[in-house]
Amino acid sequence: MPHKFHPTVLREYDIRGVIGETLGPDDARAIGRSFGTLLRRAGGKLVAVGYDGRVSSPILEHALVEGLTASGCDVRRIGLGPTPMLYYAEASAEEVDGGIQITGSHNPANYNGFKMVFQGRPFFGDQIQTIGRMAAKGDWDGGTGSIESIEVLHEYVDRLVEGLKDIPTERLAGLRIGWDAGNGAAGPALDLLVDRLPGEHFTLYTEVDGSFPNHHPDPTVPENLEDLRKLVADKKLDFGIAFDGDGDRIGAIDGEGRVIWGDQLLMIYAEDLLKRLPGSTIIADVKASRALFDRVAELGGKPLMWKTGHSLIKSKMKEIHAPLAGEMSGHIFFADEYYGYDDALYGAIRLIAASARLGKSVTQLRSDMPQMLNTPEMRFQVDESRKFAAIEEVKQRLQGTDAQVNDTDGVRVTTPDGWWLLRASNTQDVLVARAESYTQEGLDRLLAQIDSQLEASGLERGPQAGH
């Protein structure tokens, strides 16, 4: 029986939609049939399946498993947990050939979706479109797969704690850390983790609640860090860590309540890693600060600017064997002593380890960074049919000028004032802009350049689009 998906749900990096409007159990079943058929045809058979804390997740999980087993795949159900726990179940067991996590990530409570791993690699782009094409034709193999349920949470937490194995406990005993799970899927793992860590730990919202009653689980939005900031200030803690809804993106604040952005966390991780693995290539996305790329080079590493998107970065890491990568959005990937996927709980462990090994507090590490002025990520609506064309026009106009242009992902232009970026989102009908300078005057000049380029393409930096 062929199946047609709503045109908005098959996206670049994952599958996502609004429950009851664009996404439901029939879609989940069809995803299982298509993914399972592809895996069987590639010689695989066993799929790990997990889900986040959204109200709709168990229903989608049930339908997904039906689809996978009907295609002849065996399913290993790992239950409720963060996306990195599913990645762990897939990466740590040799017999597992694929993995699917049901998650709406940091989207509002009425959204849900699927993140997938296929034979150890991210499953994205045209592979996701293939699922739609197969479903439309009913191009599915049949079979009867088996189902087993296993408990992986404790084993996963054991693996996280290993990240501190080379650091003497007495060096960590005085630490006082605040944690905010945002009622997301990382909560139960976090409760187990802090019980195992030296020092004092204060947690917020570790109870999983798919309605997100306290605040939206997106740690890149400063308002969502307010409760954590208050906790750190009231208890005079060393720093605070926050997670998104499915635990693959990390947010952090230092002891003074300052946000430590994704690229700034990467600077700390890079300093620690390059002492142990000198000369390593470290990847960051095109939205990252120039200060990061300069710092990696200064520490003897090789900085590489790459396209935004967790699947694209993971693929690039595998291709060039980079031990560390990260995005502004808080996806940080560790492949030196870990599996190369984005895991915010492990990222927290590595922040504790980096601070201990470097002999500096997280607040000191944040204070040592250059003071740059930068805009937040500005997103504005543009017609889907225009977004890539507009970027192409900007590129053409800049050719033949003395502008220093990097076109890895959109257009990133470096000037004596700093840099500005304009790129098309792969997942929404928006253009994304960002600028960074040493002075306010410089920042104003960079923003004026963005505006003049938009104007030349008949667009304006008008109403901002949300995530």
Catalytic site includes residue 56: no
Query: Angle, nearest 10°, between helix axes 153-161 and 187-196?
Result: 50
Q: Which two tokens stand for residue 321?
A: 């064997």
**Catalytic residue from among 34, 71, 105, 355:** 105
Q: Which helix (H) or strand (E) holds 227?
A: helix 226-234
Q: In what order do the strands lie in the sheet with 250-254?
A: 200-204, 176-180, 239-243, 250-254, 259-260
Residues 63, 78: Cα–Cα separation, whole Å? 15
Q: Which two tokens stand for residue 246?
A: 């499915």
Residues 255, 242: Cα–Cα separation, whole Å? 14
Angle at 162 between CA 368 and CA 97, to 5 degrees: 110
Residues 304, 409: Cα–Cα separation, whole Å? 13
Task: Give the residues across from 379 on adjacent strands.
Answer: 432
As a whole number of Å, the end-to-end CA separation of the chain is 35
Between the alpha carbon of residue 311 and those of residues 71, 107, 118, 189, 286, the distances in Å are: 25, 18, 12, 24, 15
Which residues are known catalytic residues? 105
